[in-house]
Structure 1
Amino acid sequence: MNVPALQRPFKVLGIQQIAIGGTSKAQLKKLWVDMLGLEVTGTFQSERENVDEDICAMGSGSFKVEVDLMQPMDVDKKPAVHTTPLNHVGLWIDDLPKAVEWLTANGVRFAPGGIRKGAAGFDICFLHPKANEEFPIAGEGVLIEMVQAPAEVVAAFASLSASPFQ
Structure 2
Amino acid sequence: MKGRPFKVLGIQQIAIGGPDKQRLQKLWVEMLGLEVTGTFRSERENVDEDICAIGSGPFKVEVDLMQPLDPEKKPAVHTTPLNHIGLWIDDLPRAVEWLTAQGVRFAPGGIRKGAAGYDITFLHPKSNDEFPIAGEGVLVELVQAPPEVIAAYSAIM
What TM-score do you get using the length of structure 2 for normalisation?
0.99
Q: Which residue of 1 aligns with 2:17?
A: 21
Q: Which residue of 2 aligns with 1:35?
A: 31
Which among 125, 128, 139 is matched to residue 129 of structure 1?
A: 125
Tell me the CA shift for residue 60 of structure 1.
0.4
Which among 37, 52, 55 is matched to residue 56 of structure 1?
A: 52
Which among 105, 108, 113 is matched to residue 109 of structure 1?
A: 105
Distance in 1 of aligned mates of 2:6 and 2:64: 25
Q: Which residue of 1 aligns with 2:75?
A: 79
SS of the residue corresponding to residue 53 of structure 1 reads: strand
Q: Which runs of 5+ in 2 are unaligned?
A: none
Following superposition, which runs of at least 4 residues in structure 1 exceed 3 angstroms of deviation?
none
Q: Which structure is larger by alpha-carbon Rg, 1 or 2?
A: 1
Aligned residue identity for 1:34: E
Distance in 2 of aligned mates of 1:26 and 1:156: 34
Identity %: 80
Aligned residue identity for 2:50: D
What TM-score do you get using the length of structure 1 for normalisation?
0.94
Q: Which runs of 5+ in 1 are unaligned?
A: 162-166
Tell me the CA shift for residue 150 of structure 1.
0.2
RMSD: 0.4
SS of the residue corresponding to residue 141 of structure 1 reads: coil
Distance in 1 of aligned mates of 2:9 and 2:129: 30
Distance in 2 of aligned mates of 1:78 and 1:159: 41
Distance in 2 of aligned mates of 1:61 and 1:34: 22
Q: How many residues are matched?
A: 157
